[in-house]
Amino acid sequence: MSSLAEHAAEKPKSVTNAAVWFDMPVVDLDRSIRFYSAVLGQPVHKEQHSGMAFAVLHHEQGGVSGCLIPKTDSNDNKPSDHGPLLYLNCQGRLDAAIEAAVSNGGKVLQPRHPIGPYGFRAIVLDSEGNRIALHSM
């Protein structure tokens, strides 16, 4: 049996989330830590490994999350207001998150609005120039 056929014949594994991690490009790591800590209402922790500083967003063990990654000599990360739209869970505090975004250097692109049975969102530019969605049910 070919490798492709063997793979197709395997029993599918249970997947809880299609997305598992993200790297958010930032210009100023400390500024982005302040922005995301305020917007998410949870601390964002700065870490350093192998000489690279970055910050990890709060998450439960095994949960989907990501980190804030500044540009370095070894990567060409650059914030963007184009491309995939990342939804961040504001856990029932969407209005407070929008206010925190603006007071921490962000800009509202689309104010709070319903997205059918999927809750509500607002689209903002973060303090670094990334377009993100703030989401709540």
pLDDT (tens digit per residue) in 21-80: 899 999 999 999 999 999 999 999 999 988 889 999 988 787 788 999 998 888 888 899
- Contact of 78 with 129, CB cutoff 8 Å: no
Does 49 map to a domain?
yes
Does 120 map to a domain?
yes
Q: Residue 46 and residue 85: Cα distance in Å, rounded?
A: 24
What sign has the CA pseudo-torsion 24, 29, 30, 31? negative
Does 113 map to a domain?
yes
The domain containing residue 105 runs over which residues? 19-136
Sheet holding 120-125, edge to edge: 86-89, 131-136, 120-125, 107-114
What sign has the CA pseudo-torsion 33, 57, 96, 135? positive
Does 98 map to a domain?
yes
The structure's pTM equals 0.80
Query: In the prediction, which pLDDT does 77 show?
Result: 84
- 44: CATH: 3.10.180.10
Does 78 map to a domain?
yes
- Residue 97, judged by CB atoms within 10 A of its CB (0-12, 13-18, 19+), counts as buried
Closest by Cα among 121, 58, 112, 60 to 85? 121
Element (H, E) at 103: helix 94-103
Quote the number of domains for the chain.
1
Query: In the prediction, which pLDDT does 55 show?
Result: 95
Does 14 map to a domain?
no
Does 35 map to a domain?
yes
Query: In the prediction, which pLDDT does 9 show?
Result: 57
Does 6 map to a domain?
no
Query: In the prediction, which pLDDT does 20 show?
Result: 77
